[in-house]
Chain A
Amino acid sequence: MDLVVAFLESTIRLSVPLLFAALGGLISERSGLANVALEGKLLISAFVGAAVAATTGNPWLALTAGVLSGALGGWIFGVLSVFTKADHIVVGIAFNMLVAGIIPTVCRAMFGGTGGTPQLAIETRMPAPIAGDFTFFGAALLLCWMLHWGLRETKWGLRLKAAGDQPVALIVQGVNPNWIRVWAGALAGACVGFGGIDLSMVQGSGYIRDMAGGRGFIALAALILGGWRPVPTAIACLVFAAADATQMLLQGQKLFGFNVPNSLVQIVPYLVTIGVLALRFGGKGMLAPKAINQPINP
């Protein structure tokens, strides 16, 4: 029984960064901005949040700074992808590289080492009611519902979907879809920012080098698996989080009398992701935005 509770708790905890990253990615991709830079944005906000907490000691300031840095990162990513008419995937990869290079550089200048921020004291992390496992989880579910509703019922959702599916429809009405994509990128970055903060200030106690560990890419897989729709995407995130929780429970355990090597156990979530993707596709039901990763010439 304890094991079940531990498993569920751990699933919920692990799902939070995935949910924020995947739902943020959803905003971006529905606008037509293909987003393989989720990983980079998780890292930026995790680092900025922890760095601000370490220097000012104010967790609220850190939260704000983390989310804003995610938004700024998303905005820059959007501008670079949209106005240069470059391939969004190439820009996304370069963005991730840039982040991977800049964070240690800045980290060394600020804290003297490239490995991460100093350990955050308990009072500079998110305070109790927020730091509880379920507050961030609840916020992620609220975001999911807001997207689900907002995409259907608001002017904002209408224009976002148009920018992703048929940008010409906006151009002929005098609305520039490129800016919709850029701001969708920024909003996406802000959402991902909550995920980053969760990594370094709720679950962790400070920033550790490459702490996102591929979550940005698993979030992308969840988004694709969820058919670019909020609710199925959230469910996919929970499935992947459960796989990750299983992996963590298995570490150091004996399975059928054998010592299972940790390095093999760690690949379980990725195998599950590949497996689920492979089973899901090859057929219909995909809802990729039609004009995703296509440049617009207004």
Chain B
Amino acid sequence: MTRLVPVFVSILIAVLLTSILTLALGESPLVVAEVLLRGSIGTPTAFGYTLYYATPLIFTGLAVAWALKAGLFNIGAEGQMTMGGIAMAAVGIVLADLPGFIAWPLAVFAGFLAGAFWGGMVAWLKIRRGVHEVLGSILFNFISYGIAGFVILDLLRNHESQNPETLPIGQSYHLQALSDLVGIGGTSPLNTAFFLALAVALLVDVVLQRTLFGLRIRWTGGAPEFARRSGVSISATTLKAFAISGGIAGLAGASAVLGYMHKAREGFAAGAGFVGIAVALLGGARAWGVVAAAILFGGLQKGSLDLDLDTENISRDLAIVVQALIVLAVASRGALVELWLLLKAKYESSKARQV
């Protein structure tokens, strides 16, 4: 339980700072909070949207958290997600007539492979050419936008549509909406990709905690020199870990591409890769933490959409501000704990003096 305290304190600090910003912009923090809550959990449909927004964040959050366990910083989840989504759409368009039981699993697998390839290249550049993975990931993000633009606007473009989007994928690729399937989520686009995300979260947790493979990944991240001297290949582990991280991020497009739009639209990743970093830093110690953080951030994103309409001066971008502040607060929790211990020691010594 004590491990959760700094997390809650971090959230509290972020809320406080956001309130100050809101006040400075001439809006009441209470009004903003009310809009956010109503927009995210006010109705079944709103909550369905929250979970829909959370779905890609679970994937990208898991991807970043997984890489962090291996001592790697994957800030390329956005690009991996983009490549994965494009691959899913491409499979769904090119092989549109496959039967249902094989179609969507194949698309999901293609998404995983594309993301894994994208992540694997960054890892390869790190291992073989010494290019830091942070820089490599960022540059690969930009390249993936270009490739996605090429596929969506040129290669597989739907010329009959006004929007920048691809042709529709085959019917057998569609992931079912949960409102149709089990009657939850109101009229939101929440679909079975959410369950896929939960399954991947469970799998990640089991692999990391209970298998030799997961242990070696954590070992390489936590004590690389020790692992090396025990016969673990650091390069191979790095490559595998980063490729799998990329693969998990590659699945993140499933919810939008296979479950809702049934095509790839330009910019479908919508920053989920970057928010995934915040999700992983907030809840990344364990997989269920990632799920919780993703739902929190999903709610924030959904709720903030209404800010554009319901307030004069504040836009949906406030969600990004809150997320950034949470990351900052989480990142500096070491200093927060130190400060707390210092104050406690001061308090105790002053009490001791009184006695």
Q: Kindly state whether residue B321 has any CB partner on chain A within 8 Å.
A: yes
Instruction: Judge if A6 is at the interface, Cβ distance under 8 Å.
Output: no
* Nearest B-chain residue to A80, judged by Cβ: B328
Task: Determine whether the beta carbon of A277 is less than 8 Å from that of B315.
Answer: no
**Interface assignment of A206: CB less than 8 Å from any CB of chain B:** no
Do residues B323 and A105 form an inter-chain contact, with CB atoms below 8 A?
A: no
User: Closest chain A residue to B327 by CB distance?
Assistant: A94
In the complex, the answer to whether B138 meets A274 with C-beta atoms within 8 Å is no
Which residues in window 202-232 of A have CB below 8 A to B?
A: 214, 217, 220-221, 224
Q: Are B147 and A267 in contact (CB under 8 A)?
A: yes
Report the minimum CB–CB distance from A99 to chain B (whole Å). 8
Q: CB within 8 A of A273: which of B73, B129, B139, B314?
A: B139
A85 to B335, CA, bound (A): 7
Give the residue of A89, A108, A217, A270 whose beta carbon is less than 8 angstroms from that of B315.
A108
Query: Do the beta carbons of B327 and A97 come within 8 Å of each other?
Result: yes
> Is residue A5 within 8 Å, beta carbon to beta carbon, of the partner chain?
no
* B138 and A214 form a contact (CB under 8 A): yes
A83 contacts chain B at the CB level, 8 A cutoff: yes
Smallest CB gap from A97: residue in B: B324
A91 interface residue (CB < 8 Å to B) = yes
Assess whether B15 is interfacial by the CB under 8 Å rule: no
Instruction: Report B-chain residues with C-beta under 8 Å of the C-beta of A80.
Output: 328, 332
Convert A100-130 into 0s and 1s, putting 1 for each residue whose CB lies closer than 8 angstroms to a CB of B: 1111111011000010000000000000000
Interface size class of A (residues with CB under 8 A): 35 or more
Cβ A221 vs Cβ B130 within 8 A: no
Interface residues on B, range: 35 or more
B25 to chain A: closest residue by CB: A109
Secondary structure of the B contact surface, majority rule: helix
Known: A261-B150, A263-B149, A274-B131. A217 touches B138 (CB 8 A): yes
User: From residue B85, how far is it (CB to closest CB) to chain A in Å?
Assistant: 15
Whether the pair B335, A86 counts as a contact (CB closer than 8 A) is yes
> Separation in Å of the A216 CB from the closest CB of chain B?
9
**CB of B75 to closest CB in A, whole Å:** 6
What is the minimal beta-carbon distance from B243 to any residue of chain A, in angstroms?
18
When the two chains form their complex, are residues A277 and B129 in contact, meaning their CB atoms are under 8 A apart? yes
Interface pair A84/B327, CB less than 8 Å apart: no
Q: Which residues from B are CB-within-8-Å of A239? A: none
A124 vs B195: C-alpha distance when bound (angstroms):
55
Measured in the bound complex, the distance between the Cα atoms of B321 and A104 in whole Å is 10
Give residues 254-284 of A contacting B (CB, 8 Å).
261-264, 266-267, 270-271, 273-274, 277-279, 281-283
Contacts of B139 in A (CB 8 A): 217, 221, 270, 273-274
Give A274 to B141 CA distance when docked, in angstroms: 12
- Judge if A140 is at the interface, Cβ distance under 8 Å: no
Q: Which residues, 146 to 164 on B, are CB-close (under 8 Å) to A?
A: 146-150, 153-154
Which residues from chain A contact B132 at a C-beta distance below 8 Å? Answer: 224
- How many Å lie between the Cα of A217 and that of B328 in the bound state? 20
A residues near B334, Cβ cutoff 8 Å = 84-86
Q: Tell whether, in the assembled complex, residue A104 and residue B315 are in contact, meaning their CB atoms are under 8 Å apart.
A: yes
On whether the beta carbons of A84 and B324 are closer than 8 Å, the reply is no
Which residues on the B side are within 8 Å of A270 (C-beta)? 139, 142-143, 146
In the complex, which residues of chain B have a beta carbon less than 8 angstroms from the beta carbon of A220?
A: 135
- Asked if A277 and B131 sit within 8 Å, CB to CB, the answer is yes
- A36-66 interface mask toward B, CB cutoff 8 Å, 1 = contact, 0 = none? 1000000000000000000000000000000
Residue of B with least CB distance to A88: B331
Which chain B residues in 286-334 approach chain A with CB under 8 Å? 313-315, 317-325, 327-328, 331-332, 334
Partner among B25, B150, B317, B328 whose Cβ is within 8 Å of the Cβ of A263: B150
- Known contacts A102-B317, A217-B139, A267-B143; 17 additional CB pairs below 8 A are A90-B327, A97-B274, A97-B327, A98-B320, A98-B321, A98-B325, A103-B317, A104-B315, A106-B25, A114-B317, A214-B138, A224-B135, A263-B147, A263-B153, A263-B154, A267-B147, A273-B139
Residues of A within 8 A of B (CB): 36, 80, 83-87, 89-91, 93-95, 97-98, 100-106, 108-109, 114, 214, 217, 220-221, 224, 261-264, 266-267, 270-271, 273-274, 277-279, 281-283, 286
Can you sample 19 A-B contacts with CB below 8 Å? A80-B328, A84-B335, A85-B332, A85-B334, A87-B331, A90-B281, A100-B317, A105-B25, A105-B314, A109-B25, A217-B139, A221-B135, A263-B149, A270-B143, A277-B136, A278-B131, A281-B131, A282-B129, A286-B130
